[in-house]
Structure formats: C-alpha cells, structure tokens
Amino acid sequence: MQTINKAVIPVAGLGTRLLPVTKSQPKEMLPVGRKPCVQHIVEELAVSGLGDILFITGDKKRSIENHFDVDRRLQNLLQKAGKQDRLSDLEFEEMDLNFFYTRQKRVAGLGDAVNCAEGFIEEEPFLVALGDAIIESNHQQPLIKRMTDLFAEKNPAFVIAVREVPAEDVSKYGIVDLKEEEDGNLRVRRMVEKPSPHEAPGNFAIAARYLFTPEIFEFLEKTLPGKGGEIQLTDAMQMMLKHDFEAYAVPLAEQELRHDIGTFESYFRTFLHYALQDKEYGYRVRQYLQEVMDEGN
Ligand code: UTP
C-alpha cells in the first residue's frame, strides 16, 4: 500500500471577510481555544502520520512560519524559571514533521494555491487541508486515515471529505452529487462550487480535506477563473469527473465536526466551542455565558 506522507496547507488567502482583524495578521493564526487555528490542523496531520507539510503562503503570513520554529531561547528561559507547565505548551514544536514553504505569487484562488505545490509533490499522492478549517474528531480512526484507506482500496484520482449541510447553506460550499455503491462507498458524480439552492446537486458539502493524485495539476493548469473570478479547486475536480476520472467521498462521522473560521459568525462559534471545552476555564466560560443569557431574559 502506498503511504501518503505529503500534505499541503494553503494559507495565502487575504481573509477579507475577517477585516480588520486580518489586515496585518493571518486568519490562520487566529486563536481557537488555546492554539492558533493552523496548529490544530498541523496536529491533525501529525496524528494521521503525514510527515512533510508544505504551506502555500504569502506576504503578511510570516507568523505562521515563526510559529512552527523550535524556539530554544524561550524553552531555556521557561526551563530556568521552573515553568514546566508553560514549557509543555510548547511541546508541539517537537512534532516529528518537516515544514516547507512556498509563496503563491498572486492570490488567485484555492485552485491556484494548490497548483503552487506541483514541484513539491512530484509523483506521489498528497493531502490538502484548508488552513482555516479544523476537523475535530473522537472517531477511533481519524478522517484522514479513512480517506487514505479508501484511496488505497479504490485507487481513484481523488478522495474528498464531505458532510451534510442545511439546504440554505449550500451556496457557501462546494456541493457534490454522490452515488452509494453496493459496497456502501460513496462515488462522486458531479460537483458545483457555491451553487444557489436550486442549482445544488444535493446537500453534501466538501469538508476541507482532499486527497489527490498529481493528475490534479494538469487540470488546475486548464482551469479558468470561476466563481468570484478565482481559480476554483472544485472546477478542476469537476473537469476531472467529466473526463471519467474516478472520485470517492468519505463522510464525516457523527463524532466529527468541521469548524471553520472564515467569517466572524463561524469564527465566534468555533472559538466559543473550544473555549467551553478548556480544561481550566471552560466551566467559568459556561457560567459566564449562563449569566449573560439569564440577564437577557
Ligand atoms: P478562503 O477562500 O476561505 O479564504 O480559502 P480567503 O480567500 O482568505 O477568504 P476571504 O474570502 O478573503 O475572506 C480557504 C483557504 O485557502 C487559502 C486561504 O488562506 C484559506 O486558508 N487560500 C485561498 C489561498 O491560499 N490562496 C487563495 O488564493 C485563496
């Protein structure tokens, strides 16, 4: 079985829906509970056994690179001060991962960002994880592991994670038309980027994780600007489907949640979700919210 070792995290977007917060700092570095969003994602990749991580980055995104450096000076300082608990907050620095960075020359859409990974990927299949979406999982098999297993079994051109969304939300996501096969696997028939409710081929949305063979690059090259004038990854995948490439979908399990920080509403929700789970302060946050709600009544 071919192991998948390389992952790509696109983080070059402008994050315009979160202005002014994102004017000079990356949205991917916004705190989600105690960690920046992108650290949750990198930890998910590490747990799933991916070792080489390429960030597609841009100006104003330097703090992402800094975050994953090993800061020996800070570690020594904390050690000398006897702050062991603070030191353990830096354990992520020691994850057995190799980080690579390349710049998206101009912010031209997610498809264009993924296309920047071509030289890094060479002939291997690879994973793409969006830099602003966290998958929280208590499933015994991580989502990425289920995706790689299906990939190994079916040998398709790509595998995507999907989840059901309410009909009124289909215009926010890439929406896919799925067909259940006899063995229970979900074959992807068609996909549309951010369709209006009447154009949507169902209510399964792509859930921020993709597994591709390098064949995707040939189709990204040919993809013209689509929704929002951007080169859309969904359009390149749809072109592959039209050319009879096989693709499969892995649905998120009940114990899995996709948290997104792309808009203030979703960011506030995501932050609260993690703050409420905090081992030290979650209870206090819950109490505070309760008080605020009670006052409102
Ligand atoms: P989004 O489309 O949600 O992010 O991309 P955005 O473009 O930054 O957001 P808005 O619309 O301006 O608010 C999902 C992920 O893909 C990256 C983003 O950084 C984000 O992590 N991305 C997007 C790129 O790397 N390059 C792009 O051209 C677009």
CA separation (Å) from 83 to 35, 80, 226? 19, 8, 52
For residue range 218-253, what is the model confidence (pLDDT) as tens digits? 999 999 999 899 999 999 999 999 999 999 999 999
* The three-state (H, E, C) secondary structure of 1-48, written as one string: CCCCCEEEEECCCCCHHHCCCCCCCCHHHCEECCEEHHHHHHHHHHHC
Ligand 1 contact, 109 CB (< 6 A): yes
Q: b/e map of 36-49 (b: 16 or more CB within 10 Å)? A: bbbbbbbebbbebe
What per-residue confidence (pLDDT) applies to 140?
Answer: 85
Query: Which ligand 1 atom sits nearest the alpha carbon of residue 11?
Result: 19
Parallel/antiparallel/unpaired status of strands 98-103 and 186-193: unpaired
Strands 158-164 and 247-251: parallel
Closest ligand 1 atom number to CA of residue 230? 28
Structure tokens at 163: 């989840």
Instruction: Identify which of 55, 106, 132 to mutate to test ligand 1's pocket (most ligand atoms within 8 A of the CB).
Output: 132
Whether the per-residue pLDDT at 51 is higher than 70: the answer is yes
Task: Map out the domains of the chain with their CATH numbers.
Answer: 6-262 (3.90.550.10), 264-297 (no CATH)
Average pLDDT of the residues in 12-36: 97
Which residues, including other chains, have CB under 8 Å from residue 32's CB and lie 6 or more apart?
40, 134, 259, 261, 270, 271, 274
Q: Which of 22, 60, 103, 110 to mutate to test the pocket of ligand 1 (most atoms within 8 A of CB)?
A: 110
Taking only Cα atoms into account, the Rg of the chain, rounded to an integer number of angstroms, comes to 20
With cut-offs at 50, 70 and 90, classify the pLDDT of residue 255: confident
Q: What per-residue confidence (pLDDT) applies to 186?
A: 97
> Residue 171 and residue 192: Cα distance in Å, rounded?
10
Share of the chain above pLDDT 90, in %: 92
Q: Is 14 in the pocket of ligand 1 (CB under 6 A)?
A: yes
DSSP state string for 45-76: HHHTT--EEEEEE-TT-HHHHHHTS--HHHHH
Q: Is 132 in the pocket of ligand 1 (CB under 6 A)?
A: yes
Q: What is the pLDDT of residue 264?
A: 98
Q: Determine what percent of the chain is predicted with pLDDT higher than 70.
A: 99
Q: What pLDDT, on the 0 to 100 scale, is given for residue 139?
A: 85
**16 pLDDT more than 80:** yes
Q: Tens of pLDDT along 66-111?
A: 999 999 999 999 999 999 889 999 999 999 999 999 999 999 999 9
**Structure confidence at residue 270 (pLDDT):** 98
- SS3 for 204? strand
Nearest to 162 by CA among 204, 131, 110: 204
Closest residue by CA, ligand 1 atom 22:
13
pLDDT band at 1 (very low <50, low <70, confident <90, very high): low
Separation of CA 230 and ligand 1 centre (Å): 10
* The model's pTM: 0.96
Cβ contact 186:245 at 8 Å: no
Mean per-residue pLDDT, 147-161? 96
